[in-house]
Copies of this chain bind each other. A is one copy, B any other.
Amino acid sequence: MPRLIQRRSLKTGQPPGTLIHVGERKAEEITISVALYDATLLEERRVEQISECLPPVDETLLTWINVVGLHDPAILEDMGQCFGFHPLVLEDILNTEQRPKMEDFGDYVFIVLKMITPNEEGELEPEQVSLILGPRYVISFQERQADDFQPVRQRLQSGGRLRRMGADYLAYSLLDTIVDGYFDTLEGVGEQMELLEEELLAQPTPATLQQIHHLKQSTILLRRSVWPLREVIGALERGETPLIQDATQLYLRDLYDHTIQVMDTIETYRDMLSGMLDIYLSSISNTMNSVMKVLTIIGTIFIPLTFVAGVYGMNFQYMPELSWRWAYPLVWLIMLAVATVMVIYFRRKRWL
């Protein structure tokens, strides 16, 4: 079942801006990779010390710093001081129970997002991704080792539009990768729904109900992440910050349409799941009812017959029928007649 209940009690009572990592530790160690590039040049390396990722002196190069693993507040603190980030930004990066949002601090834009991907058991799991977009740099923070940004790295290596455009286009590419991830996740959910629907029409079991419930919770989880994501991308697209150039805005508009489409699909899934729940409930009660009906009818037919048999099992001395020659076959005839009449009646009433 997807985890919908959040924990952040460590935070209570702390002054704002206190750096505490809220959430599970999902990466073994913290890795910081830096890419410096322009249209002609690309230099990638892994750094260990924070002094290495100071803003590049050579102002013609763009910088992408990718931080994986958030369990060491010290690294964040160093980075915060070296780039001059507001303490609340650093606090939000570490608090992985954050709601997606965008904040414009003038010099830089801070974006928090959620990636939702199935884990090994097929459960949807949210991962918080934070981006800081500055004039010539993008810093991204991930909780997990999983290389979600691999496609962007490949495109960076193979040159092309990404290398020719600014830091805002790099940020767009990262966002685009995240939104594409939602399409994949939704496709997985959709496949499960199709299987479930077939099962539902063939032979519904209580397990079917639990799966519907499970998928419903998945859509709740997805919805909770995508609604604010839409607002974030909408705000970027409306060009509320000068850090986004006009050429990139067109791409963000396209991305905005994609998030709308994601929302739309989630809402459709919710509608479908409600419909499936209705179908489940009524087919369960249909089966139940037809079972009960047939069984009750069988019982009902034999009850009067048993009564007749009981009557002639009585031991009264004066029961003239008992000594009649054809009484026994006659009783059989009567009983057959009663049974036949009842079956015909039930048939006519369409109860059988």
Query: Complex: how many Å from CA A92 to CA B300?
Result: 64
Query: Complex: how many Å from CA A288 to CA B284?
Result: 12
CB of B187 within 8 A of CB of A6, answer: yes
Check if A305 is an interface residue, CB within 8 A of chain B: yes
Query: Complex: how many Å from CA A220 to CA B295?
Result: 39
Nearest CB of chain B from residue A172's CB, rounded to whole Å: 8
**Per-position contact with B for A36-52: 1 when CB-CB < 8 Å, else 0?**
00000000000000000
Of A8-16, A72-80, A135-143, A235-243, the stretch lying at the interface with chain B is A8-16
Q: Which of A171-225 contact B (CB under 8 A)?
A: 173, 176-177, 180-181, 183-184, 186-187, 190-191, 193-194, 197, 201, 203, 206, 209-210, 213, 216-217, 220, 224
A310 to chain B: which residues have CB within 8 Å?
Answer: 306, 309-310, 313
Indicate whether A328 sits within 8 Å of B316 (C-beta atoms), given known contacts A286-B206, A303-B303: yes
Q: Which of A287-343 contact B (CB under 8 A)?
A: 288-289, 291-293, 295-300, 302-307, 309-319, 321-328, 331
Query: Complex: how many Å from CA A17 to CA B161?
Result: 10
Query: Complex: how many Å from CA A251 to CA B8?
Result: 19
Query: Complex: how many Å from CA A224 to CA B288?
Result: 36
Listed in ascending order, the chain A residues whose CB lies under 8 Å from chain B are 1, 4-9, 11-17, 86, 88, 92, 97-99, 101, 103, 150-151, 155, 160-162, 173, 176-177, 180-181, 183-184, 186-187, 190-191, 193-194, 197, 201, 203, 206, 209-210, 213, 216-217, 220, 224, 250-251, 253-254, 257, 260-261, 264-265, 268, 271-272, 275, 277-286, 288-289, 291-293, 295-300, 302-307, 309-319, 321-328, 331, 349-351
